[in-house]
Amino acid sequence: MLKGKVAIVTGGTRGIGFEVVRKYLANGAKVVLFGSRQETVDAALKKLKEENGAWEAEGKCPKLTDAAQVERAVLEVKEKYGRIDILVNNAGISQSTPLYSYTAEEFDRVIDLNVKAVFYAILPAAAVMKEQGGGCIINTSSMVSISGQAAGVGYPTSKFAVNGLTISLARELGKDNIRVNAVAPGVTKTDMVAALPKEVVERISKGIPLQRAGEPEEVANAFLYLASDLASYVTGEILSVDGASRA
Ligand code: NAD
């Protein structure tokens, strides 16, 4: 489905991002994953090589909250592969701090990675895509971008912003043949959810119409669809993959 395409996936070392990288490689793309530390990037690449030695994957560690570092890393991908067809902004942090314990620094930390870093990666990647005649950007939102969240207000705020960025840029960049979409996962079995109290996860899972948390691979399938030509007329969409949790 992605033969010959070149993709960047941020936060591609584990969880949903890692499954997106696997899915893209298995469907013929060349993938550059951006991770936060060289050790985790190397471990992810080793795992992928063991699974299939023919897959073309490499990793980089730009500081995602540093616009200049991100620009450099994106342009290195363009220099090496000649193009960038897909940008997946997946790296993100969540927290559930109650408002009265919140600090300004904590709010900034969430917004810096979940919102500003998304913008920093889009800026150089969209310019490359425009020049080559098109491309596709997929951001990672969340079900809390629809329902909000009863603690840790920085996180849902950041995902509402991701939706705004996605829908607005879909409108702005359509004329350049750049599609911009987001995937909004529900509770998905990754380290992010493992970090939540068990009773919270159980309570949320019971309330999901499909009665269970999602698997990272089920979320990655949506990233595959949106990156593929099957979604050639889909842009400005926030695609929920959440077992109808938001309903
Ligand atoms: P995860 O914690 O397993 O993975 C997060 C990824 O982001 C990792 O690859 C990590 O290295 C990267 N990352 C974190 N901080 C970083 C930093 N400062 N710089 C660079 N990379 C950094 O979580 P996940 O569940 O796979 O989350 C992936 C995305 O999905 C996030 O944007 C998250 O908000 C979103 N999401 C997850 C869930 C869920 O239930 N797991 C639900 C909705 C949305």
- Is the distance from the beta carbon of residue 36 to the nearest atom of ligand 1 less than 6 Å? yes
- Residue 58: half-sphere exposure toward Cβ, Cα within 13 Å: 8
Average pLDDT, integer, range 91-95: 95
Predicted confidence (pLDDT) per residue in 57-92, tens digit: 999 999 999 999 999 999 999 999 999 999 999 999
- Of all protein residues, the one whose alpha carbon is nearest to atom 17 of ligand 1 is 36
Q: Which residues contact 172 (CB under 8 A, 6 or more apart)?
A: none
How is residue 150 annotated by DSSP?
S
The pair of structure tokens assigned to 202 is: 């159980």
pTM: 0.97
Predicted confidence (pLDDT) per residue in 118-165, tens digit: 999 999 999 999 999 999 999 999 999 998 999 999 999 999 999 999
- Is the distance from the beta carbon of residue 158 to the nearest atom of ligand 1 less than 6 Å? no
- Is the distance from the beta carbon of residue 162 to the nearest atom of ligand 1 less than 6 Å? no
Q: Which atom of ligand 1 is nearest to the CA of 188?
A: 40
What is the whole-number distance in angstroms between the Cα of residue 133 and the centre of ligand 1? 30
pLDDT at 247: 64
Average pLDDT, integer, range 218-232: 98
Q: Is the pLDDT of residue 246 over 80?
A: no
Domains of the chain: 6-187+216-241 (3.40.50.720)
